[in-house]
Amino acid sequence: MPAFAHTPAVTTDCTSLSMKFESYNVIAAKPASGGKPAVAADATPNTVTVTIDGVASAPVKFGKTYASTIALDGQTSHTYSVVLGTHDGYDRTFADTTVACPTPTPSVPPTPTPIVPSVSETPAPIVPPVNATPTPTATAVTPAAVTAPAPTPAASTRELAETGVSTWSVPAVAASVLAMLLGAGLLLARRFRRA
């Protein structure tokens, strides 16, 4: 077979080395004749030896075709040589260096929005109204002082967010409203007595 029929191909990328050799000759058996010795048939007279980063593999024998792919670490570059030996003298050597795969740009995960738990206000304790019997006087009515029991703050293991409203302001407002209603009630009672 002529030399142009041999088809050697060695290709690389950052993660592999591929070899494909096609249309090579094998040795056919020939009987001895004219003083020449007999030739034994050999179905695999061709060889491939691969060296990667200075480490050589054992020669692999093949016949008419050979195909193989070797995986490479893509994070670094590698030197390689592929030596093709043929029985008919069409030997070839392929040598080069692979290129490392590009390092991917790390993607930055989006910053999660912090979840702020809603703070529910502790309801103000209900203060029962104090019944005060007004003492009729000729000059002025003095409303009885209302004393609200001091609420005990609930034990908490975490800090509450500052909302601008004090937990003490609710009982104070409630006591003020109660005192105004009591005073208005006494004033109305006095007017109804006069009438």
CA distance 6 to 87: 12
- Taking 3-state DSSP, the helix, strand and coil percentages for the chain, each rounded to the nearest 5, stand at 15, 25, 60
Query: For residues 141 and 134, is the Cβ–Cβ distance under 8 A?
Result: yes
Which residues have a Cβ under 8 Å from the Cβ of 53 and sit 6 or more positions away?
78, 79, 80
Q: What pLDDT does 1 receive?
A: 42
Per-domain boundaries in the chain: 3-31+39-97, 123-151+166-195
Sequence-ordered list of residues with C-beta below 8 angstroms from that of 18, at least 6 positions apart, any chain: 9, 10, 11, 12, 67, 68, 69, 70
Predicted confidence at residue 2, as pLDDT, reads 45
Task: Report DSSP state, residue 30.
Answer: B
End-to-end Cα spacing for the chain: 139
Write down how long the chain is: 195
The pLDDT of residue 49 is 97
pLDDT at 127 (0 to 100): 62
> How much is the pLDDT for 192?
81
Q: Which residue has the tokens 């390092």?
A: 103
Among 185, 195, 192, residue whose Cα is nearest residue 141 = 185
CATH topology for 3-31+39-97 is: Immunoglobulin-like (2.60.40)
Q: Please say whether the beta carbons of 127 and 149 come within 8 A.
A: yes
Q: Per residue of the chain (195 residues), give pLDDT as tens.
A: 444 578 899 999 999 999 999 999 999 988 989 888 988 899 999 999 999 999 999 999 999 999 999 999 999 999 999 999 998 999 999 999 999 999 887 777 777 777 766 655 566 666 666 665 555 555 555 555 556 566 565 555 565 555 666 666 777 788 888 889 998 888 888 888 876
pTM over the 0.75 mark: no
- Quick check: 128 and 175 in contact, CB under 8 A? no
